[in-house]
Amino acid sequence: MTPRAPALMGRDLQDFALIRRVLRLRAFQFLVTLPTAALVAVVLISTWVGIEHPGFNFGIVFTWVVWWGALLLSLVFLGRAWCLACPVGAVGEWIQRLSLWWRSSYTAGYHFRWPRLLRNMWLPTALFVVFIWLDNGLGIANSPRLTAALIAILLLGAAWVDLFFERRTFCRYVCPLTSFIGVTALVSVLELRARDREVCRTACPTKDCFRGSSRNYGCPMVEFPGAMDTNLNCILCTECVKGCPHDNVALRLRAPGRDLWAMTRPRLDGAASAAVIVGLATIVPLLTMTFLPDLRGALAGLLPGGDAPRLVAVAILFAAGIATSVALVYAFGHLSRLAAGDPTVSTRALFARYAYALIPVGLAKYLADLLDHLLRTWGALADVTRALAIDFPFNRAIPGRVTVVHLLGPSQTYLLQAGLLLAGLLVALYAAHRISLRVSPGREAAFASLLPMAGLGFVLTLVSLWTLGIGFF
């Protein structure tokens, strides 16, 4: 009888010789970053000097359809792999290291430590909210010049921060996307972890994975792989794979969302970021669809013209939606505490646990929004490619009429979106179930603790279904 092949789930992907060789290449990260850097250069040129019509501008369609879609999908399958390929973080790193890929003995900059008060997710979460607010208020995703300005600000900001502070400080503590990417990457089916933490703790005095050596740089995200138990800060740069003298780092497939319930030290800032991200996906769209036109009209008579009424109206609704989301998660956490009847567990501790369980609900809504956008703008990909080819890389030519392609009808699209939302809800319910078993003294108490959070996940999914349905029916 032929022996069965070992299961792929849980297996170290470095058991495959090709993957092992690639991950240990000194130039691996540079080879991944180089094509994305070239694409970002073309995007920056086309958005800065190219045609202002968003339907014909390569930079607009590539950034807000192709890149955004690829980012969301990569979060599910590859964790923070985009951060590995991101040229924004790479630029600051290249300047700091005075190297593109080789292990240089020289460095540039001051290498200060980031202030302790800011070593958390509060700042990047706030910057992510500001970014989404400006996009909704000013229409960044439909403006080539604003998109170019955003990319330029990120590139200059990363270079400036990393010139003064150690390693990839910008990527960990400043980048507006790091909280969103880090929190949603907890859902990923891919993880990089120490094979045996005891080896890291007792058999490795040098900690090359963290401090660096002649073979590798220390972890650019200032993360010790021997203690890492989530994808929150791991950008899959593989410096630890290259540098570990004990070959004790594994790249594995695992159950989707495992970090949501398996993390040993849930942080309040991460939980708050999760609640904010879920609120931006579910509650904020409900408020803007319901109240934005009337609120904007009311503010038009009180504020100067231009974008001010819309910006202020969106800011008010964003603040209300985010506050509602955080308050709901906290309140339902309190209900879980009362239902379980365990006075030894605080509401704050349950908030810090259960907020993570709702991440799949928010991520599913982002994916559902993307699906609709992608199906409606598919023809624009051909348009912008044609326009860019006519006047590469400036993208100043108009190739003709906008191509309108509807790959699916409204009903079929809505059914696919509903399927995504249902999948997100199921993952969230399972994560909440596993969390309830960890925070409760027994199975009955765990079930009682689970019910309020399951109800909240169900309500948020219904809200998403309703807001998506408005656009179709």
Q: Examine the pLDDT at 381 and tell me if it is beyond 80.
A: no
pLDDT in tens, 285-311: 999 999 999 999 999 888 887 889 999
Tally of helices (H runs) and strands (E runs) in the chain:
21, 2
Please give the residue that has the higher pLDDT: either 385 or 268: 268
Question: Which residues, listed in sequence order, are joined to residue 112 by a DSSP beta bridge?
Answer: 165
pLDDT at 402: 62
Question: Does residue 401 register a pLDDT over 70?
Answer: no
How many CB atoms lie under 10 A from the CB of residue 73?
A: 12
Q: Give long-range contacts, CB 8 A cutoff, 24+ apart: 297-304.
A: none
pLDDT at 67 over 70: yes
Whether 3 shows a pLDDT value over 50: the answer reads no
Whether pLDDT at 5 is above 80: no
Average pLDDT of span 146-150: 97
The model's confidence at residue 31, banded by pLDDT at 50, 70 and 90, is: very high
Structure confidence at residue 399 (pLDDT): 66
Give the residue-averaged pLDDT of 194-198: 94
Average pLDDT over residues 20-46: 96
Structure tokens at 318: 């964003």
pLDDT of the residue at 367: 97
Residues near 174 by beta carbon (within 8 Å), at least 6 away in sequence: 123, 124, 127, 157, 158, 161
- Residue 4 pLDDT > 60: no
- Which range is least confidently modeled, 238-247, 387-396, 425-434? 387-396
Q: pLDDT class for 348, splitting at 50, 70, 90? A: very high
Q: For residues 144 and 59, is the Cβ–Cβ distance under 8 A?
A: yes
Exposed, middle or buried by CB within 10 Å (0-12, 13-18, 19+), for 36?
middle
Ordered DSSP codes for 81-114: HHHHH-HHHHHHHHHHHT-SSS--S---S--BPP
Cis ω for the linkage preceding 220 (within 30 of 0):
no
pLDDT digits (tens, 9 = 90+) for 149-175: 999 999 999 999 999 999 999 999 999
- At 1 the pLDDT is 41
pLDDT tens digits for 330-339?
999 999 999 9
Crossing angle between the packed helical segments 347-357 and 359-376, to the nearest 10 degrees? 30
Per-residue confidence at 7, pLDDT binned at 50, 70, 90? low
Q: What is the pTM of this model?
A: 0.94
What's residue 387's pLDDT?
Answer: 80
What is the predicted pLDDT for the residue at 49? Answer: 93
Query: In terms of Cα–Cα distance, which of 410, 280, 421, 270 is closest to 354?
Result: 270
Helix axes 347-357, 268-300, angle to 10 degrees: 80
